Amino acid sequence: MRRKIIAANWKMNMTVNESGSYLDTFLLEVAEEKRLDIVLVPPFTTLAYVSERLNKIQNVKLGAQNMHWEKGGAFTGEISGAMIRELFARYVILGHSERRALFGETDAIVNKKTHAAHEASLKPIVCIGETLAERDADKVEQVLETQLRGSLAGLDAKMLTDTVLAYEPVWAIGTGRTASPEQAQAAHAFIRKVLTEISDAATADKVRIQYGGSVKPGNTVELLSQPDIDGALVGGAALVARDFAEIIKLTAAL
């Protein structure tokens, strides 16, 4: 059985002040929820503060939204895995579609970052997903397979098991348009099939695959009850403490 994992990608939102009042509400709601993994992924400037607030809370983990693949040096504006790990973060989102589309991240870059994350003892949450044009052209599987093979190249079974995948169809992100449970399940099952080819069936069976794209309390149950959907990567709805807590509770009760 794969343990479910629900993560909040705050994107470029939440000052330290704002995250303070968020956590006041959120932690009261979920502090006792131990049936799944919960991850908060704030912007870099808010990581240290959220880390302190999570200090005594075992069941809510911390993640970062990006990192550089080098350990250090002349890379103005970048952040290393060790800098993130030092703040007690356990996860790092890599290759989010916004980074791929707006900041030119390729599968090769995502692959370098994925290896660097493991070296820094961070679990990468590697994002993949097709655009609407690619779906309309019947290229979903081709796109997912290319992204998977490129982003995960060279990872051994242990590293793959410690990697979380996030299937985020680009057309469902921030649009209010969610993949149907059937569309999402089909993509997740395909991803697991490719993982089996990349590695082996036992390893593929252990890898957790999150769905992302307009997840909200109202569609959580239908999506998260699919056999190959092991969690959610939540954007907009995770900016509202009560909504995100509700998504967690609904998932925990499944």
d(CA 90, CA 85): 7
Cα distance between the two ends of the chain: 13
- Minimum Å distance from CB 148 to ligand 13P? 17
Stretch that binds ligand 13P, among 56-64, 116-124, 180-188, 230-238 (CB under 6 A): 230-238
- Minimum Å distance from CB 127 to ligand 13P? 7
Residue nearest to ligand 13P (CB): 235
Stretch that binds ligand 13P, among 18-26, 42-50, 151-159, 231-239 (CB under 6 A): 231-239
190: region left, alpha or beta (phi > 0 left; psi from -120 to 50 alpha): alpha
SS3 118: helix
234 binds ligand 13P per the rule CB under 6 A: yes
x/- map, 89-118, ligand 13P, by CB under 6 A: -------x----------------------
Helix or strand holding residue 208 (H, E): strand 208-212
Nearer to ligand 13P, 164 or 198 (CB): 164
- Minimum Å distance from CB 6 to ligand 13P? 11
Residue by residue, DSSP assigns 165-194 as EEE--GGGSSSS-PPPHHHHHHHHHHHHHH
Q: 62 near 48, Cβ under 8 Å?
A: no
List 215, 224, 229, 241, residue binding ligand 13P (CB under 6 A): 215
- Minimum Å distance from CB 215 to ligand 13P? 5
List 235, 243, 245, 247, residue binding ligand 13P (CB under 6 A): 235
- Minimum Å distance from CB 76 to ligand 13P? 26
Contacts of 149 (CB under 8 A, 6+ apart): 107, 194, 198
List 9, 46, 185, 251, residue binding ligand 13P (CB under 6 A): 9
d(CA 7, CA 109): 23
- Minimum Å distance from CB 213 to ligand 13P? 5
Q: 30 near 66, Cβ under 8 Å?
A: no
List 173, 204, 209, 229, residue binding ligand 13P (CB under 6 A): 173
Nearer to ligand 13P, 119 or 222 (CB): 222
List 114, 203, 214, 251, residue binding ligand 13P (CB under 6 A): 214
Partners of 7 in beta bridges: 39, 233
d(CA 214, CA 9): 12
Q: Is the dihedral of CA 3, 9, 15, 19 positive or negative?
A: negative
Stretch that binds ligand 13P, among 66-74, 128-136, 194-202, 234-242 (CB under 6 A): 234-242
SS3 54: coil
User: Where along the sequence are the contacts to ligand 13P (CB under 6 A)?
Assistant: 9, 96, 168, 173-174, 212-215, 233-237
